[in-house]
Structure 1
Amino acid sequence: MIEVKIPELAESITEGTISKWLKSEGDAVKEGDVLFEIETDKVNVEINAEHSGVLKEIFSQPGDTVQVGEVVALLNENADVNNVNGGDISVEESRGRNQEKAVRKDPGDEDSDQPVEEPKERPKAVQAEQDHRARRIATPAARKLAREQGIDWNSIESQDPLGRITADDVKSYKLSVIAPDQKPSHPDADPDKPIERIRMSRRRQTIANHLVQAQQSAAMLTTFNEVDMTAILDLRRRRKNQFQEKHNVRLGFMSFFTKAVISALKVFPMLNAEIQKDEIILKKYYDIGIAVSTDEGLVVPVLRHADRLSFAQIEHEIASLAEKARNNELRLSDLQGGTFTITNGGIFGSLLSTPILNTPQVGILGMHKIQTRPIAIDEHRTENRPMMYIALSYDHRIVDGKEAVSFLVRVKELLEDPENLLLEV
């Protein structure tokens, strides 16, 4: 038998949660096949089989937390994959018949080790029923759940094509035999106020802990400004078709904001730093995190060496990272080591918000919805302009208010005169 273990995932990750199995007990497995997915604090990782054989037994079920190096299954490398079902049934027959031997525990005394002799002769009907039960197959999870619920799993009908009884079969059986007024409910449940309890995913738990930690460990403040987006909208309107034809990517807003942020970081380097104990680490490179919303929660893939990228390269990289995030294909390396973060709540309609630091970073820029508002051009004229509020949250432990405000003003000036971005970065 070969032990299927949780492999090394990353230097900082020691555990994860099994999200789903792609193979079941008794399935033939080829080397390289995906056995299961494990959810870590940041991404989901597919675990591949290192050997061929038959998946003999699964020890850890979806939702179980497992450690690196933990054995989660057994793989029979010597099994005949062309006769998987027959091999499994014969094993279960052997187990079942061994359990029906003369030595068994007294059902009235679970701790008793005294052997109890079976009658030497049993009626044929009883013998037939016991033989039928001995041939039935139940997964370890099903047997465990049935044992915990006090259910005889031999009385459960399987929905599996191979006749195996699964944990879902046990749950369905329990719901079918328990009267509605006997079904378990939370002690505070009010039948007139129905609720649903949903287990938090590992990533959602990590996000929650990370955000609380950010507020507890940093002296976070936020400063605001607004940007007249007229020039950028005009430039995009004039150049978007030519840009897309040449570079095969849409000219979005994020490349302008990324370029403006990098330019401002070069002038105010403390916002591209982090605190390590009693030292300030000034980073002379610009790996910009771009917040992306997914069904599993917010992730922040990193745009590496963004200062070396053109507008088109930035747009290509952002589009690629966003697609990988939505398809759950991000690697851990895609999420590590950012120096500053940009987040855009405007795509969801947010007019103004206070972004939370992505620690250990000390700065995050929040973009918001573009909204047409009347703006005073001078003492005598007012015009409707496409305006966006921008917010900078920063760690006041190493970034002073003057630096933060000046940084945001610098970003505003560059965005309102976007042609200068070609000269500034």
Structure 2
Amino acid sequence: MAPAIMLAADAPKLSSANTGFMLICSALVMLMTPGLAFFYGGMVRVKSTLNMLMMSFISLGIVTILWVLYGFSMAFGDDKGSIVGWTSDYVGFSGIGKMDLWPGYTIPVFVFAVFQLMFAIITPALISGALADRVKFSAWALFLVLWVTIVYFPVAHWVWGTGGWAYELGVIDFAGGTAVHINAGAAALGVILVIGKRVGFKKDPMRPHSLPLVMLGAGLLWFGWFGFNAGSWLGNDDGVGPLMFVNTQVATGAAMLAWLAYEKIRHGAFTTLGAASGAVAGLVAITPSGGAVSPLGAIAVGAIAGVLCAMAVGLKYRFNYDDSLDVVGVHMVGGIAGSLLIGLFASGRGQSDVKGLFYGGGLDQFWKQCAGVFAVLAYSLIASAILAFLLDKSIGMRVTDDEEISGIDQAEHAETAYDFSGAGGGVMGSATALAAPQSKKVDA
């Protein structure tokens, strides 16, 4: 048979099943950003709740437009020097036909593009948790524009784009351990080293104002993460997606239990915040590794990440950097752990035949993982610190001390999260009732 006929016969055809599955996964990943907003929003004090919600929500608008205009082309266009991509047909999505398939797969380019868009949206939103209480909303929005353009889009090409240097090296990142979590965690560290600490850091109590909101956010993140992880195989034809689905659940449960065990031993209590944080640590760690490890390996990855992240969140007090909501301790440390553990626990029976050290594969994959991890970490940290420095020296990154103390919600958004002024309700209503003169006669 002629080669041309063979190629035509073997060419992928659109799969309605895979297309529908990927659209559902895209919606699940989109839900993660509001889930993150609730998770972060519950962890801050009352006076910063709306600002925290908005710092995540604004990413849904800004990154969506940038992705259509040029972000998708930079991340997944034709390779340019193993650093960035560019395809003119992807600019504005102007040259993409509705039936054009993503090369080598059975889903349309539009479906792949919108799935990856949701990753691009949530990654900078993750950074915002480290900056709670003190950053101008306008400065954050401009930082977001610059960061995704200079950092996220190129890094996504390194890791996932054909021709990207990490992709060609063989670095395994199933769904974003390096491109998403290490990238965001390192960026958070770079920015907070520039803008400094909150007023009252290590002096004033800065406890979460609503643990129910934290748990709600964690639950939405856990739910959406199945789309984030299982969908990253772009189909369900060979069993890898289901393996990733199972490993996502297994590692998350193991990490939550490990965090709680560490917390009980170290601090004497099982906290709801610890349960939520442990679950997120497990989700982070299994993101790069879940397609390469077995379910037993996923238990190990989750448990190790749970303990490491629980230990890491206290480092900010030792080293005196103010990571408000532990983005560095959970996302950067969890991403590093999950990425490097591939080099130890890869079974060779998942997404590829690559085996880790414990399965007879030696340290070859471990060193490749190290290259990807530390290159992304260094680039994101340095580039993010430079961006923050330039913005701080030009338009200013921080609100004033008075605005921070009185509440960034009122200063930046002219709103408050909760209205306690209603008669007979809430704290203010109760205080008013106590202060008012009491009648000697009670009317019927």
TM-score category (smaller protein): under 0.3
Q: Work out which of the two has the higher radius of gyration on C-alpha atoms and give 1 or 2.
A: 1
- TM-score (structure 1 length as normaliser): 0.21
- TM-score (structure 2 length as normaliser): 0.21
Greater share of residues in strand: 1
Greater share of residues in helix: 2
